[in-house]
Structure 1
Amino acid sequence: MTDNQEILPSYLLRPGFLFIPDEGTVISAVLGSCVAVALFDRKNKKGGMNHFLYPHAPDAKNATTFYGNVATSTLIRIFLKEQPSRKHLEAMIFGGAVHASMPQAQKVAEKNINIAQSLLEKAGITVSVADTGGNRGRKVIFDTLSGESLVYRVERLRSGDWYPYEGMR
C-alpha cells in the first residue's frame, strides 16, 4: 500500500484498543457491528486507529476504549495535541454492519457509526472515507505511513480474515 520498498510492520487492532505507532505500520481490524476510526495527518505522514464495540460508556468508572465516545475522543485528542491544525487531518470510519442472523445488533451498530461521525464533525475533522453499515463484516487494512486503506467485505469470518494473525486467537 505504500510506495516504499520496505515492508512495514503489521499490527492487529483488537476491540477496545487504539494504536498510534511512531513508525509506519499496517494496522488491520476485523469488524462486524463494531466500528474503527482511522485518523491520518497528511503533513506529518502519521496515522492511527481505534476499534470499539459500543457507542457510549455507561458511566465514568467504566469509560474505556471499548466505547466509541472514549476511543474516538481520545484518538482525536492525541492527534490534535501533536497536530493542532485540523486542516492536515482526515478521518476514515469503517464497520457498523449487522448480519441478518443478528438483528438485535442493529441499534448498537447504528449508534457506533453515529458517535464516530458526530465526534469527528464536532472536532472539525473531515471524513474522507466512510465504509459503514450493511450486512457484511469487514477486514480493514490501514497504512499509517500513506494514509491508504483497504476494505474486504466478508459474509462470515474465516481463518484467512485474520492472516497473518491466525496464531494469535
Structure 2
Amino acid sequence: MNKEESTNRHFLFPGTLFADARDYQISTVLGSCVSVCLWDTVTHVGGMNHFMLPLWNGEGLATPRYGNIAMEKLLHKMLALGCVKKHLVAKIFGGANVNGTGNGNEIFMIGDRNVILANQLLDEYAIPIKAWDVGGRLGRKIVMQTGTGVVWVGKHRVAAQAP
C-alpha cells in the first residue's frame, strides 16, 4: 500500500463524535460508555459517537458526553454530509458493567442506561439497528470502516481503579 492509498484514521475520545464523507477508520475504547455507529447504505458515509452518560440535565454545556446530545449531533452531522435518514442503519457497542459486582444490585447501572437510551432514540429516529454488542463485564475496542459500515469488536478486561 502506498501513501496515497493509506486509510484515513481517527481515534474517537469519550464525549466526542466523528463523521466524514471520506473513508475513515474510526476507533475507540469503551467500558460503560456507548458508541453508536451510523452508516448510510446509499452514500456509504459513516460516523460514530462515544457518550459517557445517558442524559444531559440542562445544566452546563450540552456536549456529546451525554447520549441524548451525542445522538442528535451525530444524526445532524450525517444529514449535513448528504445522508438521508431513511438510508441510515445503526450498530451499538459498549455499555459494560465494568465496576459493579455483577449481582444485579448495582445502583447506577450507567452502561445499561446508556444502551437503553441509544435504543430509544434510534427507535424515535426510525433508524434500524443492524448489529450490537452491549453489556457484560468486559470493555471493548471497536474500529469502524466508514466507507463500508463494517465494525470490528475486540473485548478486554478493564483495569479496576484504585480507591
TM over 0.5: yes
Q: Quote the Cα distance in structure 1 between the aligned partners of 2:134 and 2:107.
A: 14
Give SS of 1:61's match: coil
2:123 to 111, 116, 121: 121
Partner of 2:86: 87
Cα displacement string for residues 50-85 of structure 1 (whole angstroms, at most 9, x for unaligned residues) = 001000112153311100000011112232454564
Q: Where do 5+ consecutive residues of structure 2 fail to align?
A: none
Instruction: Report the Cα offset of residue 106 of structure 1.
Output: 5.4
Partner of 2:100: 102
Give SS of 2:60's match: helix
Partner of 2:140: 138
Give SS of 1:45's match: coil
Q: Where do 5+ consecutive residues of structure 1 fail to align?
A: 158-169
Number of equivalences: 152
Is 2:114 the partner of 1:112? Answer: yes
TM-score when scaled to structure 1? 0.82
Q: Quote the Cα distance in structure 1 between the aligned partners of 2:138 and 2:111.
A: 12
1:83–1:105 Cα change, 3 Å: farther
Q: Quote the Cα distance in structure 1 between the aligned partners of 2:11 and 2:150.
A: 16
The one-letter amino acid of 1:126's match is P
Contact 1:33 1:105 in 2 (8 A): no
The one-letter amino acid of 2:127's match is I
CA RMSD of aligned residues (A): 1.9
Is 2:154 the partner of 1:155? Answer: no
Contact 2:25 2:144 in 1 (8 A): yes
Partner of 1:53: 52
Contact 1:41 1:83 in 2 (8 A): no
Give SS of 1:20's match: strand
Partner of 1:38: 37
Give SS of 1:87's match: helix
Instruction: Report the Cα offset of residue 10 of structure 1.
Output: 1.1
Cα displacement string for residues 3-51 of structure 1 (whole angstroms, at most 9, x for unaligned residues) = xx93311111000100012311100010000000110011111100000
1:105–1:68 Cα change, 3 Å: farther
Contact 1:98 1:106 in 2 (8 A): no
Q: Quote the Cα distance in structure 1 between the aligned partners of 2:26 and 2:46.
A: 9
Contact 1:35 1:93 in 2 (8 A): yes
1:113–1:56 Cα change, 3 Å: same
The one-letter amino acid of 1:123's match is Y
Contact 2:21 2:46 in 1 (8 A): no
